[in-house]
Amino acid sequence: MSLIDFNAPRRWLFCMTHPDDEISVCATMRRLVQAGHEVRISWTHSPEFRLKEGVAAAALIGVGEDNLYHHNSTDGSTCEELIDLLPSFRAMMNHAKPDFVVCGAFEQGHLDHDATNWLVNQTFGGTVIEVPFYHTYIRPNIQRINQFSDSRNQEMIVLDKVEQRFKLDFAKQFRSQNIWQVLLLFEVVSTLLLQPAKLRKRELFRKQVHRDFRTPNHPERLARKVEQTPQWERWIAALTKAESPH
């Protein structure tokens, strides 16, 4: 049975970290809206100028302002604000009452993304579906965009030509960022490396089963490298603080 059944309308909450993260899943969101599903979007960090872009982009998907949430975390420091953000996420879950929550994968590409994943799993007891943004923050490795490090159990939604054009146009809505140029460059580099990314041609999903937030969610060799980074050390310190008695 597929993770996403377009023929059975449900309540969906897409917990993104920043406005523009929806680029990874915007065509699927649009399909859900067109099929009669209720779709809501949350942004963990959304300063005013990015929020304005996010609201306009959400409208292209078919999601109105009444179905948007934002939590005002600090860009780059969300993992240090986990305890402060929990009440806001709990309130959102109680209000939205989603059947499914979709969020960025716990994949050690950006600490803010991993923080959002942790917040979702602390406040929602149902099925969490992960979307790959990018991994990992190991340097000088090239970050892999919109693909899981372990492709087992992933599901793919293949996009038609109209959806591919929509995805590119959607990426261009975020004028304060250079995201669509970055994605285009990544596609070129990936093709030259004989590993074509096909970013506009498909969207990937998997049911989240890895909830050990003290272990990187990667094959063992890559996980061990992640554990040696200062970013991982910072994550563990933030997690320890969040999980300590208050």
Based on the number of CB atoms within 10 Å of its own CB, is 82 exposed (0-12), middle (13-18) or buried (19 or more)?
buried
The three-state DSSP-derived secondary structure of the chain is CCCCCCCCCCEEEEEECCCCHHHHCHHHHHHHHHCCCEEEEEECCCCHHHHHHHHHHHHHHCCCHHHEEECCCCCCCHHHHHHHHHHHHHHHHHHHCCCEEEEECCCCCCHHHHHHHHHHHHHCCCEEEEECCEECCCCCCCCEECCCCCCCCCEEEECCHHHHHHHHHHHCCCCCCCHHHHHHHHHHHHHHCCCCCCCCCEEEEEECCCCCCCCCCCCHHHHHHHCCCHHHHHHHHHHHHHHCCC
Distance CA 180, CA 118 (A): 27
Torsion of CA 101, 102, 108, 110, to 10 degrees: -100
Rounded alpha-carbon distances, angstroms, from residue 77 to 84, 112, 130: 12, 7, 22
pLDDT of residue 166: 92
pLDDT digits (tens, 9 = 90+) for 37-79: 999 999 999 888 889 999 999 999 999 999 999 999 999 999 9
The CATH number that domain 11-243 falls under is 3.40.50.10320
| Packing angle of the helix pair 230-243, 82-96 (nearest 10 deg) | 70
Q: Tell me the C-alpha to C-alpha distance, in Å, between residue 64 and each of 21, 40, 176, 207.
A: 17, 9, 21, 27
Quickly count: other Cβ atoms within 10 Å of residue 6's Cβ.
15
Largest interatomic CA distance in the chain:
52
Residue 192's pLDDT is 41
- Using 50 as the pLDDT threshold, list the residues of the chain that sit under it: 185-186, 188-194, 196-197
pLDDT, position 145: 82
Look at residue 167 in the predicted model and tell me its pLDDT. Answer: 86
In the numeric block, which tokens belong to residue 27? 């065509």
What pLDDT score does 189 carry? 47
For position 196, what pLDDT does the model report? 44
Q: How far apart are CA 19 and CA 14, in angstroms?
A: 11
pLDDT of the residue at 198: 65
Instruction: Give the pLDDT confidence of 107-125 residue by residue, as tens digits.
Output: 999 999 999 999 999 999 9
Check residue 140 and give its pLDDT: 80
**49, 176 in Cβ contact below 8 A?**
yes
Q: Are 12 and 37 in contact (CB under 8 A)?
A: yes
